[in-house]
Amino acid sequence: MAGTPADHGFGAIVARHRGYFESGKTRPVEWREAQLTAIETMMTERSDDFFAALWSDLRRNRVDADATDVRFVADEAAHARRHLKRWLHPEAISTPLALAPARAEVRFDPLGVGLIIGAWNYPVMLTLSPLVAAISAGNAAVIKPSEVAPACAEVIARHLPEYLDPEAFSVVTGGVPETTALLDQRWDHIFFTGGPAIGRVVMTAAARHLTPVVLELGGKNPTIVHSSANLSVAARRIAQGRWQNAGQTCTAPDYILVFKDVAGPFLAELKAAVQSFYGDDPRHSPDYGRIVNHRHFDRLVGLLDGAEVYHGGQHDRDDRYIAPTILVNVAADSPVMQEEIFGPILPVLDVDCIEDVITTIRSRPKPLGLYIFAEDRDVAARLLDATESGDAAVNDCTIQPLIRELPFGGVGESGMGKYHGEWGFRAYTNARGVLYHSTILDLGVRYPPYSEHERLRGFVMRTMM
């Protein structure tokens, strides 16, 4: 099947991968284990290339790059390989007595050929972690890295074909035209990480073929600092979660709701944490990143207009540098509170009580993450019961995706579908219920004419429900 000029030849690529998938060659556990091992090997052998690309695109230091991208992907692949046989094993389901002898099970069958559209903020992890899930489930895939992180896209495009089965996997680079052409193809699954606006475009394209999707869309993650919180620990953990990767993290705290009676001490602790991490001039810190490009830089600087800066605020367009910035006396309807910030700016709002916190969170779209800093367990429980979010953490923030056994993903405006570990495996499979019914017994009461066995049939049918 040849691709037309309008589809950039992508139709032929998808057809080739689908033919390979339908041949059954991606189903054996040995094939899946080999591909997962290949990813682990690639991340180890080519780690320096990935580190250099992450520094070029985001000025990400090696420690963070290893923990959140390079080693993270290698460990994700190793985790899937170790647990794969257990995940693949069908789940036994009990059957009604009236069907005896019979057995039932849930199989986890691969979906087919998937499209993975990666993101630029963690351009390795958010592109290859979904690929690990697709492989573990026995699928083929086309991978589209983000063009906004061009160095990482180039490294992925160069090395992935060297390690993975080329009959099952392809990498496509490019921008909007290429992504649009890819979305015009018929897929068996689409995985997209990005913002809600493009998420709607992806979902609209998927709807043409009723293609299942996983959408990881982020959002304004509220962070509550209660009066009972350990303020120094809260400040350090929030500072790391907010300003790692220069704030360009979908799970980062987006704004703080701090109880008034501890607002002053908390702000002092937060400023001290920033200075402890990055020094008096973070521009020169080897651990502090840069904004990905000038378009995002200009958007972020615009959010500072008219804002009251408690700490930071310095910026340099040529260097794509914005200092870790804390804003105070922030109005709920201010520009910085209208969209996900996705940068090193942190608004701090005072609240009087838990009811104010609940009202504020409920008035906004459901976020990807919700963070509660409180030593009072009843407070934490009440806030979790009264709010909704994709994920949550108590007395920490941002790092919950590192726990592979936890489902990771949004809800409502922040996305749909979960992945990592077994959750990723299941996202890429069809949970297929199968009944195995013996022919040794074949009770006549299930067949017409029903009048001959009316009472007995009613009893039998009730036991089957």
Rounded to an integer, what distance in angstroms lies between the CA atom of residue 118 and that of residue 72?
A: 16
Q: For the chain, which residues make up each domain, given as ranges?
A: 5-217+416-430, 222-409
Residue 462 in this model has a pLDDT that exceeds 90: no
331-355 pLDDT, tens digit each = 988 999 999 999 999 999 999 999 9
pLDDT reading at 404 higher than 50: yes
β-pair type (113-117, 189-193): parallel
Position with higher pLDDT, 450 vs 350? 350
Q: How is residue 303 written in tokens? A: 């959010």
pLDDT reported for residue 6: 60
pLDDT tens per residue across span 194-215: 999 999 999 999 999 999 999 9
Query: What pLDDT is recorded for position 411?
Result: 97
Residues above pLDDT 70, as percent of the chain: 96
Note the pLDDT of residue 138: 98
Q: Does 34 have pLDDT greater than 50?
A: yes
For domain 222-409, give the CATH superfamily: Aldehyde Dehydrogenase; Chain A, domain 2 (3.40.309.10)
Please say whether the beta carbons of 292 and 58 come within 8 A.
yes
Condensed to tens digits (0 to 9), the pLDDT of residues 212-268 reads 999 999 889 999 999 999 999 999 999 999 999 999 999 999 999 999 999 999 999
How do residues 41-64 score in pLDDT, each as one tens digit? 999 999 999 999 999 999 999 999
pLDDT of residue 1: 38
pLDDT band at 442 (very low <50, low <70, confident <90, very high): confident
Instruction: Give mean pLDDT, residues 380-405.
Output: 96
Collapsing DSSP states into helix, strand and coil, what is residue 236? Answer: helix
The answer on pLDDT for 3 being more than 60 is: no
Whether the Cβ atoms of residue 133 and residue 424 lie closer than 8 Å to each other: yes
Tell me, what's the pLDDT at 453?
Answer: 62
Catalytic site residue 216? yes
Set 40, 216, 269, 340: catalytic member: 216
Going by pLDDT thresholds of 50, 70 and 90, the confidence category of residue 2 is very low
Assign 97 a pLDDT band (cuts: 50, 70, 90).
confident
pLDDT on residue 18 = 98
Secondary structure tally for the chain: helices H, strands E: 16, 18
Taking CB atoms within 8 Å and a gap of at least 24, the contacts of 12-20 are 13/142, 13/170, 13/172, 14/113, 14/142, 14/185, 14/186, 14/187, 16/167, 17/113, 17/140, 17/141, 17/142, 17/167, 17/168, 17/169, 17/170, 18/112, 18/113, 18/140, 20/140, 20/167, 20/168
3 state DSSP class of 2: coil
Nearest to 122 by CA among 50, 40, 185, 171: 50
Query: Rounded to an integer, what is the distance from CA 454 to the centroid of its chain?
Result: 54
The contacts of residue 411 (CB under 8 Å, 6+ apart) are: 366, 388, 389, 390
Contact 417, 221 (CB under 8 A): no
What CATH class has 5-217+416-430?
Answer: alpha beta
Q: Which of 40, 250, 269, 397 is catalytic?
A: 250
- Look-up of token digits 């794969």: 84
The distance of Cα 104 from the centroid of its chain, to the nearest Å, equals 33
Torsion of CA 35, 36, 37, 43, to 10 degrees: 110
CA atoms within 13 A on the CB side of 397: 33
Q: Which residues pair with 348 in a beta bridge?
A: 256
Average pLDDT, the chain: 95
